[in-house]
Structure 1
């Protein structure tokens, strides 16, 4: 798909087909007839409304359920289960911190238990986050390829999507880590710079994967596409995040209740750290991630497509790539 002229950036040379000259119209001549909307895939090939972006993301998931939901389920299961296994060895240390009674131990013993428990907790959390990042990087790049094909109405198999994404995997990992670092540094000084940078570089993944660009070029492309439309981009990405949070919250409720039931709805802080409660919460996280991760990834790709259609006239290129060159 990235071999078609539709996804190349304006800086990449590509041949333009000969277009017939349009007749000029005088001031009193009627306007030219409006071209019909072309929709070969999940979205119409024209600048999109916010609802069309959300609907396009859902339509892509429904059109390719085995590819998208299947891959998301595997990634979510592997990352969440491994994360749970990483945290279990530190469970006793964390439980000792939650049940620490300063009246029964000396100050030094309390400090030692607190230091040991928190060190184990942060170690397990760090490893879990690293696993989640690796899984998210693979899933976001893989889904980017599928959404790109779905926009053009082109079929795609797992092998085709993987073959197209595989050369960009290492670059995407580096770009994702760099984006996280930049946003984190911005958030340290203040929340607002962190949010501004998150939106400014929010389109790095689709730019890198679909345009087959380098890391630096992808950052530049994201900045250029968001420029002049920061608030709209922020609104759409925030909407996707809110929808994902609501879905995760709804899914987590029954698993949270089941976890509480296994402890007899105990008010003891250590009860929430029991192995049974953690397993149930992990199952809930797997189900939620299977839905929310592909949804947010698909929305991000469609925001990228919309920005290119609005700022670069890419809808014409996509129409040609989809086989509507006569438009």
Structure 2
């Protein structure tokens, strides 16, 4: 029997660790024959560290900037143009009532017909704005994971493909975002209702102790519901990515997100908090130069106004500032939406690699050679997890 290799030497000329330095044969990569994880795309197909997640997000933005930022510019730019056109149409419809209301003295009251016209116009614009932002946000939340699916595998993707897949997932993504916001907002809403009720009771009773009680309820309610809302938000933060990666419906995506987040809540919370702070800082730094540049034409234009300018004259004079501010806001919004969603998608992939051994499946789908045949019992020529050949291998394990 050959002598066991050890710290003091052994077989193969006294080389330690099994006959070769650090246990590996000549030419083996790494120490002890350790092979680094496959990296066909923007991340290694292994459990991700914080640096891997951030590098993967930045690499995706660098390699797929046309798809990500191009779609974001088209969506947010189109939404801005749509709202600008809607405001122009609404102004033309209520120009006379607006002029009469603005020209009223302090003691005069506006006619009810003028107030109804202005409130109706503002209401229509608000509803249109909400619907537009829901569609734009839903498309962005669907497009970013769509690009990330291919970025992880190192495959190209066309702009038209991103657009088509994003539209196909629009309804469930909006439903998931709405349910998540509703679930997170419920405890906060309940405590706000209780807070308002206590204030009303305190005002009705006209007692100093009632006001103190209202303040106490508000503080305790904020302390109680803040952590609860944060816990729920992190618990369901992977749901929009799951809708795109796995094709789940909203309720199933929320359940799946809670399952994947379980046992790693604090890590996901810390990374997402860091990423949103980074995105907010970057957005502020981007938006500030646009606002400063827009102030100069606004100052020059407003200096030429007369003593009693009309609303239209004020809007025209401030148009340069409005345009610059909107451009800065649009660029900031694209960054603050894209980067956090890329990180969230990578956290989803990381959790599946850690808990479901998704790495070999992704490596096979990316065409990286693997030892041991086809993983998870799939037949040759089939996509992993029972999907169709050519589909992204992110479906839930069956």
Number of aligned residues: 295
Report what 2:78 is aligned to: 78
Identify if the C-alpha distance between structure 1 residues 164 and 277 changes in structure 2 by more than 3 Å, giving closer, same or farther: closer
Report what 2:359 is aligned to: 315
Identify if the C-alpha distance between structure 1 residues 286 and 200 changes in structure 2 by more than 3 Å, giving closer, same or farther: same
* Separation in 1, partners of 2:234, 2:272: 8
Identify if the C-alpha distance between structure 1 residues 263 and 124 changes in structure 2 by more than 3 Å, giving closer, same or farther: same
> 5+ residue gaps in structure 1?
1-27
* Separation in 1, partners of 2:33, 2:46: 16
Structure 2 residue 173 is matched with structure 1 residue 172: yes
Shift of 1:258: 2.8
* Separation in 2, partners of 1:144, 1:320: 20
Structure 2 residue 151 is matched with structure 1 residue 150: yes
Identify if the C-alpha distance between structure 1 residues 85 and 159 changes in structure 2 by more than 3 Å, giving closer, same or farther: closer
Structure number with the bigger relative contact order (C-alpha 8 A, sep ≥ 6) is 1
Shift of 1:274: 4.0
Report what 1:17 is aligned to: none
Shift of 1:216: 1.8
Structure 2 residue 262 is matched with structure 1 residue 227: yes
Identify if the C-alpha distance between structure 1 residues 206 and 118 changes in structure 2 by more than 3 Å, giving closer, same or farther: same
Structure 2 length-normalised TM: 0.63
Shift of 1:151: 0.5
Report what 1:324 is aligned to: 369
Shift of 1:81: 2.8
Structure 1 length-normalised TM: 0.75
* Separation in 1, partners of 2:187, 2:322: 33
Report what 1:183 is aligned to: 184
Structure 2 residue 285 is matched with structure 1 residue 250: yes
Identify if the C-alpha distance between structure 1 residues 264 and 70 changes in structure 2 by more than 3 Å, giving closer, same or farther: same
Please say which structure displays the higher CA radius of gyration.
2
Query: Quick check: 2:242–2:253 contact (8 Å CA) kept in 1?
Result: yes
Shift of 1:74: 0.6
> 5+ residue gaps in structure 2?
1-6, 8-16, 24-31, 192-224, 303-310, 373-398
175-184 vs 220-229, greater mean Cα deviation: 175-184
Any idea what the Cα deviations from partners look like across 1:67-93, whole Å, max 9, x if unmatched?
122111111211233234445647999
The structure 2 residue matched to 1:277, chosen from 309, 321, 326, is 321
